[in-house]
Amino acid sequence: MTIRNHSPSRIAYYEQIAKLGMAPLWESLHTLVPKEPRPQAVPAIWKYAQLRKFVLESGKVISAAEAIRRVLILENPGLPGKASITSNLYAGLQLILPGEIAPSHRHTQSALRFIVEGTSAWTAVDGERTTMHPGDFIITPSWTWHDHGNPSIQASGEPVVWLDGLDIPLLLQLDAGFAETYPEDTQPVKRPEGDSFARYGQNMLPVRHDVKNGNSPIFNYPYVRSREALYTLSRTNEADAWDGFKLRYVNPATGGYPMPTMATFMQLLPRGFRGKAYRTTDSTVFSVVEGQGNVRIGEQLFEFAPHDVFVAPSWQPVRFDTDEDAVLFSYSNRPVLAALSLLREERQ
Amino acid sequence: MTIRNHSPSRIAYYEQIAKLGMAPLWESLHTLVPKEPRPQAVPAIWKYAQLRKFVLESGKVISAAEAIRRVLILENPGLPGKASITSNLYAGLQLILPGEIAPSHRHTQSALRFIVEGTSAWTAVDGERTTMHPGDFIITPSWTWHDHGNPSIQASGEPVVWLDGLDIPLLLQLDAGFAETYPEDTQPVKRPEGDSFARYGQNMLPVRHDVKNGNSPIFNYPYVRSREALYTLSRTNEADAWDGFKLRYVNPATGGYPMPTMATFMQLLPRGFRGKAYRTTDSTVFSVVEGQGNVRIGEQLFEFAPHDVFVAPSWQPVRFDTDEDAVLFSYSNRPVLAALSLLREERQ
Amino acid sequence: MTIRNHSPSRIAYYEQIAKLGMAPLWESLHTLVPKEPRPQAVPAIWKYAQLRKFVLESGKVISAAEAIRRVLILENPGLPGKASITSNLYAGLQLILPGEIAPSHRHTQSALRFIVEGTSAWTAVDGERTTMHPGDFIITPSWTWHDHGNPSIQASGEPVVWLDGLDIPLLLQLDAGFAETYPEDTQPVKRPEGDSFARYGQNMLPVRHDVKNGNSPIFNYPYVRSREALYTLSRTNEADAWDGFKLRYVNPATGGYPMPTMATFMQLLPRGFRGKAYRTTDSTVFSVVEGQGNVRIGEQLFEFAPHDVFVAPSWQPVRFDTDEDAVLFSYSNRPVLAALSLLREERQ
Amino acid sequence: MTIRNHSPSRIAYYEQIAKLGMAPLWESLHTLVPKEPRPQAVPAIWKYAQLRKFVLESGKVISAAEAIRRVLILENPGLPGKASITSNLYAGLQLILPGEIAPSHRHTQSALRFIVEGTSAWTAVDGERTTMHPGDFIITPSWTWHDHGNPSIQASGEPVVWLDGLDIPLLLQLDAGFAETYPEDTQPVKRPEGDSFARYGQNMLPVRHDVKNGNSPIFNYPYVRSREALYTLSRTNEADAWDGFKLRYVNPATGGYPMPTMATFMQLLPRGFRGKAYRTTDSTVFSVVEGQGNVRIGEQLFEFAPHDVFVAPSWQPVRFDTDEDAVLFSYSNRPVLAALSLLREERQ
């Protein structure tokens, strides 16, 4: 509350009620109930070409065991010290070296991994491991045990980097975070790789599958399939004027998003795309998979290249331009807004 | 109403009220509200080895054009003249010869096709055609334009036979059947083959997909995927004692069944399976895809071989035995019972 | 199947396949898949002035104890011997005399009671009794213990008559009927009258209420409230041109219908109402609460007076005319059609 | 991030990555992903006996017209300057004097009013006005026009005070706030008082009512009904050991909460209640309607009396004690947590 030039009596009144834990709404009404969203987060880009060496260097700064999760947080310049890339979302680049393990734990925060480079690492979720390849989208839903590893047995082992997306800020705002450490570094493997996908990934479900919550029973959505879907569509359909070709990942047991707090998308902007501007109340983090292009977010213009990360805060107009095919992964807090009837979109 | 030995006054009373359109409930209460289901449908099997020549002969009896749909109805012996294989469901074997077309129409009845033999035919649904292969499961949802064809251009054309499953008896009971004929033999093709699968079949959905009803936007569920899912599971999991390995087909936009009135399943009974008995209030039609075995339904024991069709009416115990791997497709009225909270199951 | 003038070879073919349990679809396609619904049920009315004495006489024909339920079934003239008033629904007039009990049982059929005359009787459902007054709508959901009684202690005891509405024909068609008799004539009373209404009837619910199925936790919807709602609306709103003022009863725990298989409605046709015609695929049974008027159903014109029952089968146009205020209760199979995406309406 | 005693090289690394918008997760992991919720909000009480005179004095400090909403915010001592009573919720005491109007506007924030004292004021929501009485619970859902007034015509006019509950902090965190001012001070009245309640409040709904969002179509839940429901239950049921008798308000069109972001409850703690402790991840604001008692929240013990407001932050144990009957209204962010599968409860 900024107190403007008030009469002494009004100031005295304000001081009195402050002692009783009260404040005058009329001094801050316009800030509290604004005409339209005024996100503190700002449009921003993280250029992978600049960051990569620091991500790799983190491997020397601290061990995976000591760090528990060796991640460089991508912190929005508008939210300094908040470990947030948007008001509700967290993003970070995680490095795991050959021979390392990120030890098993679980938390109520939902997490996604989007693989940036390297092919030798795995993630385990609730008793099943999956190998991670660039472009794969992997989930570790709320309160599921998970650990990551990069085997050292092969001489061919390589550093693996992925983008972590979590709802950490949202859960802090909701006071709903719980966490537990698993007694061992890795949880026991109970099912062979591919088991979940066989059960849930082929447009079929086990006859006695119960939907207990909004989390997808598939936990690896391979890039080979997502990419094929986009290119099949692009060959014979017209691109949407705003989005190009854009699909959302789905929980096949509900038709909803893979996790209750984060939506995820993959889109193809075809060569020569000159997108129209749109804006929406969800805030979105993009990770470039293939191709280069430009994006205008609010007043900012960014050039993007593979593995760059950029962010579009709530209600900032977004517009894409490409001279070559570009594939973008993205995630946002859309399910939260949709569940609360607060999603608004505008296409120009 | 069977009138037992009643006094003349009671009989006179019954006659009087009958004139006013009334009848005494107490004479029929036990029939109307039975202790447990007493289906008129009986367990039955149709042996493809015996039927096949008649199915092919139908091609000489009538042309596809004259018949509109050249189908031999599989009629339950307990429901003579009712064109029903169970109380609510219809089954038939449809033949389409090279060069023929089954002309386009639509109806509120939901239909499924399960391909028995032949690889050259197509089905078109709402502007997209799909090629049908043995074991594929294809839907033509309520009120969607659909037509079938078997091109004659190839010398290699062959007769194609599939199992039609429809909810015809249910819609007659509900007085809810509507139908229309398309002005042309075939509807225009608006999208290339594979378009629906790219949009909906890869665990992704278009960002602006609206769920308008319970019908799956995927209309061909290829056998190659269903079979792979079952065998992947069977390699590393234990078979369920009643069902072996059993998956249900899913509408990826909702997690529900592909159509609102019929559930569909595919199951693998592994070699040497000695199943336990179960019973359920949905009535199920099975079509054998691969392998041989025995099934006991109620008091009946049937041997089954590829392409045989058999039926388990409501609340009849079912038990499977196999000496070799067997793959069974099946469909039932389970979604109807589930929607009305009338599904009951018992596993022994 | 009516076999038209066929060639001997075709007749021989039909006979051969009949032995194998098969029939040619093309001979019956138009009947099985009609252009529009052709219900066997016909429009009909039951005039309470004519029926009443026979309903009361049933009290002498059989005791409530012997009958278990002493009900005169209202049987649709188009469905003789079927104990059905529409394709899916049953209706009957039940009589209970002072000092009688209709013994406790339960069944998967859902039942509703709409009270016609008398004020002294009660219904018990799952441990709670409610007193029934004319115009009250009471449910005994699927598989709930229920019994009815009319105390004899008062000299003022009077015969009580109500309309029973059940989904008996539907459950026969679905082969889903189960029934059990309670070991005693009446179930124990566990909660005082009004308890359910306090918990669920005041636009509040217990904090830990779980929705287990589609059945309303309220089981008596008193007429005094329904009537007040309709008249409040009528004083300041315009009547709908087809329905007058029409509300549906609601399950407050879901917003759905009170039971999964039957919708129930109450409507006020204001004095001088000249309704437009509509038709719909649900079949509806009406019970007149107050007032007189005319209704045209299909080609039939009926005059109705209090306590009359009339029925509008699927897709028959319905049109109301009144010279005085009339209040109508009605029930239909609408939830079944809606759950299966088979509800169609047309307003002219 | 508090940087501990780090080596100069590590500090240099941190400075380098900070320039690129990155921060090391491992320095803040335990804060970001805590073992259990650590709300900044603290247990607190606002004693109406102390506040009342300041609330009334606000009427002299500023006019309703100038203030737009003349409200004293109840600000949690743990969230200074945040206009928040819990992490997600706002509470304030609003005063409206005879002859005043709080002008019409709408916003995406959902608002509830719980009437504290005075009987002469009204609230208008989307074209209908309702008179407000102490204990009534009134909603103005997201994006509905609303205005309040207190007529001056009567000499008997009195100041009216109510508790405002809004989701202002949540919408700031979600960057989803929009607001508009109505061109006139009051919106036009289109329907008479009682119209909504007649349509939606009697366990019935208009036949053609569409559910468009999660907002209840009832907007005044009168205290006379809520109180009657609680006392009816209390006469013949045993109190819950934690909650006494507790009901939640319901949206009768869905069975859900009246608005998507806030749950509301009314509970009766009977005389002599010695409650057990519970904790939950939703944060709850209580308003005392009748009676006195004690509540222990976390480490704090509060005595409460009529019109006091107190708050229980996430995961703080809560325990009630009363020597006389006490009635408490409360609201929380439970629907948000439930929608995101983040609601956890523990009863001790």
**How far, rounded to the nearest angstrom, does the alpha carbon of residue C152 sit from its chain's CA centroid?**
29
Whole-number Å distance between alpha carbons of B342 and C84: 20
pLDDT in tens, C195-252: 999 999 999 999 999 998 899 999 999 999 999 999 999 998 999 999 999 999 999 9
Q: Which residues of D touch C (CB under 8 A)?
A: 191-192, 194-195, 197-199, 201-207, 211, 218, 221, 225-226, 228-230, 232-233, 235-237, 243, 246-255, 265-266
Q: Residue A346's beta-bridge partner residues? A: A279
Whether residues C35 and B178 touch (CB distance < 8 A) is answered with yes
Q: Is C148 left (phi over 0), alpha (psi -120 to 50) or beta?
A: beta
Whole-number Å distance between alpha carbons of B113 and B258: 12
**Quick one: closest CA in A to D38, which residue?**
A175
At residue B284, the pLDDT reads 98
Helix C8-19 crosses helix B48-61 at what angle (to 10 degrees)? Answer: 160
Whether residues D226 and C191 touch (CB distance < 8 A) is answered with no
Sign of the four-CA dihedral D323, D325, D327, D332: positive
**Quick one: closest CA in A to B225, which residue?**
A202
- What are the extents of the domains in chain D? 44-347
pLDDT in tens, D163-179: 999 999 999 999 999 99
At residue A152, the pLDDT reads 77
Instruction: Report pTM.
Output: 0.96
Whether residues A339 and D260 touch (CB distance < 8 A) is answered with yes
Identity of the residue in D199, D236, D247 whose CB atom sits nearest the CB atom of C205: D247
Which residues of chain B make contact with C54, given a CB cutoff of 8 A?
A: 13, 16-17, 20, 22
Query: What's chain A look like in SS3?
Result: CCCCCCCHHHHHHHHHHHHCCEEEHHHCHHHHCCCCCCCCCCCEEECHHHHHHHHHHHHHHCCHHHHCCCEEEECCCCCCCCCCCCCCCEEEEEEECCCCEEEEEEECCCEEEEEEECCCCEEEECCEEEECCCCCEEEECCCCCEEEECCCCCCCCCCEEEEEEECHHHHHHHCCCCEEECCCCCCCCCECCCHHHHHHCCCEEECCCCCCCCCCCCCEECHHHHHHHHHHHHHHCCCECCCEEEEEECCCCCCCCCCCCCEEEEEEECCCCECCCEEECCCEEEEEEECCEEEEECCEEEEECCCCEEEECCCCCEEEEECCCEEEEEEECHHHHHHCCCCCEEEC
Burial of C60 (0-12, 13-18, 19+ CB in 10 A): exposed
Burial of C184 (0-12, 13-18, 19+ CB in 10 A): exposed
Whether residues C225 and D203 touch (CB distance < 8 A) is answered with yes
CB atoms within 10 A of CB D62: 16
DSSP 8-class letter at B67? H
Whether residues B252 and A254 touch (CB distance < 8 A) is answered with no
- What is the phi/psi pair of residue C78, to 5°? -85, -5
Q: Is A28 left (phi over 0), alpha (psi -120 to 50) or beta?
A: alpha
Asked if D295 and D304 count as a contact pair (C-beta separation under 8 A), the reply is: yes
Lowest mean pLDDT segment, chosen from B7-21, B316-330, C302-316, D153-167: D153-167
Checking if the pLDDT of D2 tops 60, the result is no
Map tokens 């480079």 to a residue: A117
Q: What is the mean pLDDT of chain D?
A: 95
Whether residues C252 and D203 touch (CB distance < 8 A) is answered with yes
Whole-number Å distance between alpha carbons of D249 and D262: 10
Pick C116 or D6 by higher pLDDT. Answer: C116
Q: Do chains A and C touch (3 or more CB pairs under 8 A)?
A: no
Q: Identify which of C181, C146, C171 has the alpha carbon closest to the alpha carbon of residue C83.
A: C171
At residue A6, the pLDDT reads 83
Whole-number Å distance between alpha carbons of B326 and A298: 60
Whether residues A207 and B243 touch (CB distance < 8 A) is answered with yes
Whole-number Å distance between alpha carbons of D162 and D329: 12
Checking if the pLDDT of A281 tops 70, the result is yes
Q: Identify which of C5, C8, C26 has the alpha carbon closest to the alpha carbon of residue C16.
A: C8
**Quick one: closest CA in B to A192, which residue?**
B236
The structure tokens listed for C224 are 């005094």
Using CB atoms, which chains have 3+ pairs under 8 A with C?
Answer: B, D
Which residues of chain B make contact with C333, given a CB cutoff of 8 A?
A: 174
Between CA A134 and CA A142, with CA A139 as vertex, the angle to 5 degrees is 155
Asked if A222 and A194 count as a contact pair (C-beta separation under 8 A), the reply is: no
Whole-number Å distance between alpha carbons of C220 and C222: 6
pLDDT class of B111 with cuts at 50, 70, 90: very high
pLDDT class of D160 with cuts at 50, 70, 90: very high
Which residues of chain B make contact with A204, given a CB cutoff of 8 A?
A: 221, 226, 229, 247-250, 266
pLDDT class of B5 with cuts at 50, 70, 90: confident
Whole-number Å distance between alpha carbons of A239 and A236: 10
Whole-number Å distance between alpha carbons of D274 and B160: 76
pLDDT class of A5 with cuts at 50, 70, 90: confident
The structure tokens listed for D326 are 């006490």
CATH code, residues A44-347: 2.60.120.10
Whole-number Å distance between alpha carbons of D5 and D2: 10
Q: What is the mean pLDDT of chain C?
A: 95
Identity of the residue in A199, A229, A236 whose CB atom sits nearest the CB atom of B202: A229
Question: Which residues lie below 8 Å from residue C54, measured CB to CB, with a gap of 6+?
Answer: B13, B16, B17, B20, B22, C72
Q: What is the mean pLDDT of chain A?
A: 95
Using CB atoms, which chains have 3+ pairs under 8 A with A?
Answer: B, D
Which residues of chain D make contact with C190, given a CB cutoff of 8 A?
A: none
**Nearest chain D Cα distance for residue A188, angstroms:** 23
pLDDT in tens, D285-344: 999 999 999 999 999 999 999 999 999 999 999 999 999 999 999 999 999 999 999 999
Whole-number Å distance between alpha carbons of B313 and B322: 21
Between CA C151 and CA C160, with CA C154 as vertex, the angle to 5 degrees is 50
What single-letter amino acid sits at A160? V
Whether residues A108 and D342 touch (CB distance < 8 A) is answered with yes
Whether residues C37 and B215 touch (CB distance < 8 A) is answered with no
Identity of the residue in B16, B87, B335 whose CB atom sits nearest the CB atom of C54: B16
Whether residues B255 and A211 touch (CB distance < 8 A) is answered with yes
Checking if the pLDDT of A156 tops 70, the result is no
**Nearest chain A Cα distance for residue B78, angstroms:** 29
Residues in chain A: 348
pLDDT class of B156 with cuts at 50, 70, 90: low
Which residues of chain A make contact with D283, given a CB cutoff of 8 A?
A: 175
Whether residues C62 and B170 touch (CB distance < 8 A) is answered with no
Question: Which residues lie below 8 Å from residue A315, measured CB to CB, with a gap of 6+?
Answer: A36, A37, A39, A279, A280, A281, D175
Asked if A136 and A326 count as a contact pair (C-beta separation under 8 A), the reply is: no
Whether residues A170 and D171 touch (CB distance < 8 A) is answered with no
Q: Which site among D195, D203, D280 would you substitute to test the C interface, given the most C Cβ atoms closer than 10 Å to its Cβ?
A: D203
Whole-number Å distance between alpha carbons of C236 and D205: 17
C209 three-state secondary structure: coil
Which residues of chain A make contact with D333, given a CB cutoff of 8 A?
A: 174
pLDDT class of C3 with cuts at 50, 70, 90: low
Identity of the residue in B202, B232, B248 whose CB atom sits nearest the CB atom of A205: B248
Q: Which site among D204, D331, D332 would you substitute to test the C interface, given the most C Cβ atoms closer than 10 Å to its Cβ?
A: D204
Whether residues A236 and B195 touch (CB distance < 8 A) is answered with yes
The structure tokens listed for D45 are 């009480």
Whether residues A10 and D39 touch (CB distance < 8 A) is answered with no
At residue D156, the pLDDT reads 63
pLDDT class of A1 with cuts at 50, 70, 90: very low
Q: Which site among A136, A204, A228, A242 would you substitute to test the B interface, given the most B Cβ atoms closer than 10 Å to its Cβ?
A: A204
Bridging pattern class, strands A345-347 and A293-297: unpaired
Asked if A92 and A84 count as a contact pair (C-beta separation under 8 A), the reply is: no
Q: Do chains B and A touch (3 or more CB pairs under 8 A)?
A: yes
Map tokens 């949009």 to a residue: B199
Residues in chain D: 348
Which residues of chain B make contact with A205, given a CB cutoff of 8 A?
A: 247-248, 250, 255
Identity of the residue in C23, C70, C215 whose CB atom sits nearest the CB atom of B83: C23
Whether residues A247 and B201 touch (CB distance < 8 A) is answered with no
Map tokens 């649900």 to a residue: C282
pLDDT class of B152 with cuts at 50, 70, 90: confident
Cα dist. B260→B166, B254, B282, C315, C332 in Å? 12, 11, 14, 21, 20
Identity of the residue in A28, A313, A340 whose CB atom sits nearest the CB atom of D339: A340
At residue C156, the pLDDT reads 63
Which residues of chain B make contact with C68, given a CB cutoff of 8 A?
A: 26, 29
